[in-house]
């Protein structure tokens, strides 16, 4: 079976969506599928004989709509999987009409859309008047019924929809009433190379690389550093903990994402300055970004005693940094937002705090430092959670089921 994966995000692009798309393609190839990838011209770093990469897209705009159609016909896939989140396509609406184009050109080919987020669609209002006029003409051509302003015909004309957390399904179902009947939930597995424990050798290697002492309690943060990840909360919580003892270290694993944050373009620099301002810089290690083909980030996680992910909006199943920490069986401190999915059980597989509350996060860290039994229970819970919700085997089984293929 030939599978065409469409994703503007692919290595060497610095984004979790890029790494996850690569690992998804590799796991599909492991199932003996013929995997092709339509991606941006800049994404030419991968040399894998199992995957055929077509880096031919320039801007994913209306000017390339004929290029997409021509490529679909030439590739002649048996199924199409679109990886969608608005920002990787420059928020342009062109890609949101590709399911309809595919149906016209390849009517028997199933079209599946995987939403990396339901909170980031296209933004036609950002484009020129001419572009908005083209979008209006495309909507009329596609048939105006159930055409979404932000998601075009993705919801209506995709045969199946994959969402990464329950909240995303709820948001999208408000856009299209028939959505849930064709939607499946499949959280993202770890998007990093995971090093084996090797009876503690990986932990020893990581702690040696970080320069920490045997009795130091090492807290890890994992993920790209950008607003709403709660890094400010973590730094202020760490300052509180540091006041009560010197045997605690913080390692921040991750770097800057390629997404542009117009209101805070220098967010990472702000966090470095905040660390210095709080007087904790000597006890904080910033590792920088890690790459898709290196297990160094996993080595650092092996060195840690706990992971803290204080998201401003609360934890959800789509948080790939959470799945990576769980895969390492780390006790995880994170935050509870307005909605909490049933997979997360406070005190069993996660320790929950209110968002944007440094004092609560500090108290949770101190509790874990002083209670090995609590750490052990959370480790076991995280390991079980990873096996149940974040395994690549289950994710690929689910993805292939949307293709109409038995796993």
pLDDT in tens, 282-338: 999 999 888 878 899 999 999 999 999 999 999 999 999 999 999 999 999 999 998
Contact 311, 334 (CB under 8 A): yes
Cis amide linkage into residue 12, ω under 30° from 0 = yes
Residue 74 burial by Cβ neighbours in a 10 Å radius (0-12, 13-18, 19+): exposed
The whole-model pTM stands at 0.92
What is the average pLDDT score of the chain? Answer: 93
Strand partners, 108: none
Order of all β-strands in the sheet with 306-309 = 284-288, 248-253, 217-222, 306-309, 332-335, 351-353
Ranking 17-31, 124-138, 142-156, 244-258 by mean pLDDT, the lowest is: 244-258
The residue ranking higher by pLDDT, 50 or 291, is: 50
Q: What is the mean pLDDT of residues 238-248?
A: 90
Terminal-to-terminal C-alpha distance of the chain: 13
Up-side HSE of residue 305: CA atoms within 13 Å toward CB? 23
Contact 404, 110 (CB under 8 A): yes
Gap between the Cα atoms of 80 and 74, Å rounded: 13
Contact 252, 275 (CB under 8 A): no
Q: What is the mean pLDDT of residues 52-72?
A: 96
Could you tell me the pLDDT band of residue 407, with boundaries at 50, 70 and 90? Answer: low
pLDDT for position 262: 58
pLDDT for position 263: 67
- Which residue matches tokens 């009876």? 199
| 187 has a pLDDT exceeding 60 | yes
DSSP 247: S
Domains of the chain: 2-189+392-402 (3.40.50.2000), 201-389 (3.40.50.2000)
- Both tokens of 269, joined, read 């620099």
pLDDT above 90 covers a percentage of the chain that reads 83
Up-side HSE of residue 37: CA atoms within 13 Å toward CB? 30
| 14 has a pLDDT exceeding 90 | no
Contact 61, 92 (CB under 8 A): yes
């Amino acid at each position: 079976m030939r599978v065409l994966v469409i994703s503007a995000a692919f290595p060497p692009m610095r984004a979790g969506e890029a790494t996850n798309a690569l690992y998804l393609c590799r796991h599909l190839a492991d199932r003996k599928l013929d995997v092709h990838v339509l991606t941006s011209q800049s994404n030419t770093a991968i040399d894998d004989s199992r995957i055929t990469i077509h880096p031919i897209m320039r801007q994913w705009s209306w000017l390339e709509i004929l290029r997409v159609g021509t490529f679909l016909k030439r590739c002649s896939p048996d199924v199409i999987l679109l990886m969608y989140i608005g920002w990787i396509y420059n928020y342009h609406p062109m890609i949101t009409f590709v399911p309809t184009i595919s149906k016209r050109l390849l009517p028997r080919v199933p079209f599946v859309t995987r939403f990396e987020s339901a909170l980031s669609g296209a933004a036609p209002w950002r484009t020129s008047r001419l572009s908005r006029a083209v979008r209006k003409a495309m909507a009329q051509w596609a048939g105006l019924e159930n055409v979404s302003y932000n998601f075009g015909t993705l919801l209506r004309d995709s045969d199946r929809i994959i969402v990464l957390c329950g909240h995303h399904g709820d948001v999208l179902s408000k856009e299209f009433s028939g959505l849930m009947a064709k939607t499946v939930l499949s959280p993202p597995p770890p998007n990093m190379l995971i090093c084996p424990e090797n009876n503690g050798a990986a932990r020893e290697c990581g702690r040696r690389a970080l320069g920490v002492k045997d009795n130091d309690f090492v807290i890890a943060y994992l993920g790209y550093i950008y607003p709403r990840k709660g890094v400010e909360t973590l730094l202020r919580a760490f300052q509180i903990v540091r006041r009560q003892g010197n045997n605690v270290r913080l390692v921040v694993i991750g770097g800057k994402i390629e997404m542009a944050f117009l209101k805070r373009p220098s967010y990472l620099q702000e966090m470095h300055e905040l660390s210095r301002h709080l007087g904790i810089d000597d006890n904080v290690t910033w590792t920088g970004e890690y790459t898709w083909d290196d297990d160094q980030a996993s080595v650092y996680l092996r060195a840690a005693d706990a992971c803290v992910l204080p998201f401003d909006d609360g934890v959800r199943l789509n948080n790939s940094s959470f799945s990576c920490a769980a895969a390492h069986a780390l006790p995880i401190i994170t935050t509870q937002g307005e909605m909490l999915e049933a997979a997360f059980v406070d005190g069993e597989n996660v320790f929950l705090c209110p968002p944007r509350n440094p004092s609560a996060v500090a108290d949770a860290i101190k509790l874990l430092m002083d209670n090995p039994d609590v750490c052990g229970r959370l480790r076991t819970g995280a390991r079980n959670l990873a096996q149940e919700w974040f395994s690549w085997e289950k994710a690929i089984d689910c993805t292939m089921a949307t293709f109409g293929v038995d796993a």
